[in-house]
Amino acid sequence: MALTAEQWNAEYPVGTPVIAYPGCRPEDDPTAEAIPSKTRSKASVLGGHTDVVWVDGHSACIALTHVDPVPADRATEQ
């Protein structure tokens, strides 16, 4: 289950390492683009209905359902 913007912000500060999937998730499409990145904003609610965050290397916000935080022990691998 995806976190709400409020829950995300309580757990993950700006600059958190993430893997972002701007189109679709790999479990839905094995060729899905994965962007190793970090957040560049707090999460917010877009249009009153979609929880999103902005990440480095992508020009649009991405739904939190398409952003996975990278565990601290793997963050240095990016």
Q: In the chain, which residue ranges form alpha helices assigned H by DSSP?
A: 5-11
Model confidence at 39, pLDDT cuts 50, 70, 90, reads very high
Question: What share of the chain in percent tops pLDDT 70?
Answer: 91
Confidence band, pLDDT 50/70/90 cuts, at residue 8: very high
Question: The pTM is what?
Answer: 0.87
Angle ∠(42,46,49) on CA atoms, nearest 5: 120
* pLDDT at 2 (0 to 100): 78
pLDDT reported for residue 75: 61
With beta carbons less than 8 A apart as the criterion, state whether 37 and 19 touch.
yes
Summarize the confidence of residues 65-77 as an average pLDDT. Answer: 80
Mean pLDDT over all residues of the chain? 92
